[in-house]
Structure 1
Amino acid sequence: MKLDDPKSLRAYAHPLRLKLIGLLRSEGPKTATQAAAALGDNVPNCSFHLRQLAKYGFAERVPGADGRERPWRATAPETSWDDDSDDPDMRAAADQLNSVLLGSYIQQAQSYLAIRGDEPAEWRAAAGFGDALVHVTADELRELTEQMEALFERFADRSADPSARPPGSRLIQLIQMAVPRETAPNS
């Protein structure tokens, strides 16, 4: 789903809504009660934010196992938006969403560090942090980003199809950031 208006960006830029969509995408349909239990939140709060997600087209109701269940599902496997708008409202909304996402990524990384010592050695060796400093043009950075996304795409079918997941696989979040280190390009 491509977000192209400030109102949708701001609606999506809520920490619980991002967690709810992530849960629906990774685990499939959930009721507000199931989502609250999985996220450690309360049912009325999750119910409200699921309705808000539905209002903006991010989530929808699906038939339940019985007439009383009211599960929700994500309407798209991913969400994207452009960060290059000249519209000040779009830039502000995209910056707000990016800021909320960055906070979420930091929290997830800190949560992993808190349990890292309990992970098996093979997972401690495979997971982790790193960075690279490269001197590139804007076009080269776009090309590099496209190449990284192509690598991630190799595993995309496993999200929707649990039978495509090899034994021993785990859900891993790869976080991509391309952030200039200088405020202005060198002359």
Structure 2
Amino acid sequence: MQQSNETAERAPRRLTDPASMRALSHPVRLALIEVLTLRGALTATQAGELIDETPTTCSFHLRQLAKYGFVEEAGPMPGRSRPWRITRLGWSLENDAADGTTEAREHAVAARHLGDMTLERQLDRHRSHDHGAERAHTVWWVTPDEAAELRADIDALVMRYRDRLRDPATRPPEAEAVEVVVLTHPFA
């Protein structure tokens, strides 16, 4: 079943290309993606103020992100302002390349590096807000098909609030940005 263009544009970008994974595997680039996701279109100067980097550094990294399709120019503004916006809300990463070829090894290395960097950023944020942060842990005995179904169910549940990222007018007044991190892996 084909996804509609609107549904495909709303879905997180699935990263399968090692070059794109490597392009995103930089702390400043990840910070830029995060701030653009939370704040919407920003100039390099505005983004730099929010992530504590220089406008020159942000401008360079925004151009690199644009080269790989993660961000784009948001349109003209008065003067020389050049705002940027993300092209897709979120990304997903699966390391399913295991056939032993050079390409599969490159994919695995790039996916592992980006996944580790992202997880460390998420855990650092979690640790810094640990005052009352919720945690849950459980173990299930499931088949691979059931595990995939479980992941799809969790994704559907979390995606219920996705429109609030794209359209701030849909956010209730007391709403705040909450990061949801779901980890699934064999318990061995």
| Shorter-chain TM-score range | 0.7 to 0.9
1:15 CA displacement: 1.8
Cα distance in 2 for partners of 1:62, 1:156 equals: 20
Show CA shifts across 1:78-115 (max 9, x none). 222332112111111111111111111111112212xx
8 Å contact from structure 2 (residues 71, 87) kept in 1: yes
Structure 2 counterpart SS, 1:34: helix
Cα distance in 2 for partners of 1:14, 1:131 equals: 30
4+ runs deviating over 6 angstroms: none
Q: Please, which of 118, 122, 138 is the counterpart of residue 101 of structure 1?
A: 118
Q: Please, which of 87, 90, 103 is the counterpart of residue 107 of structure 2?
A: 90
Are 1:171 and 2:183 matched, yes or no? no
Cα distance in 1 for partners of 2:69, 2:112 equals: 21
Structure 2 counterpart SS, 1:103: helix
User: Under a length normalisation based on structure 2, what TM-score does the superposition of the two structures give?
Assistant: 0.85
1:63 CA displacement: 2.3
Counterpart for residue 120 of structure 1? none
Counterpart for residue 3 of structure 1? 15
Q: Please, which of 13, 38, 47 is the counterpart of residue 50 of structure 2?
A: 38
**CA RMSD across the alignment:** 1.4
Cα distance in 2 for partners of 1:81, 1:133 equals: 22
8 Å contact from structure 2 (residues 21, 110) kept in 1: yes
Counterpart for residue 119 of structure 1? none
Cα distance in 2 for partners of 1:81, 1:134 equals: 22
Cα distance in 2 for partners of 1:176, 1:15 equals: 21
Cα distance in 2 for partners of 1:42, 1:128 equals: 35
Counterpart for residue 75 of structure 2? 63
Cα distance in 2 for partners of 1:132, 1:82 equals: 22
Counterpart for residue 141 of structure 1? 147
User: Under a length normalisation based on structure 1, what TM-score does the superposition of the two structures give?
Assistant: 0.86
Cα distance in 2 for partners of 1:138, 1:21 equals: 32
Cα distance in 1 for partners of 2:119, 2:149 equals: 23
The one-letter amino acid paired with 2:15 is L
In the alignment, structure 1 segments of 5+ residues that lack a partner are 117-123, 183-187
In the alignment, structure 2 segments of 5+ residues that lack a partner are 1-12, 99-103
Cα distance in 2 for partners of 1:174, 1:53 equals: 24
Are 1:79 and 2:91 matched, yes or no? yes
Cα distance in 2 for partners of 1:43, 1:55 equals: 18
Identity %: 38
Cα distance in 2 for partners of 1:41, 1:136 equals: 45
Q: Please, which of 11, 14, 17 is the counterpart of residue 26 of structure 2?
A: 14
Are 1:110 and 2:122 matched, yes or no? no
Structure 2 counterpart SS, 1:80: strand
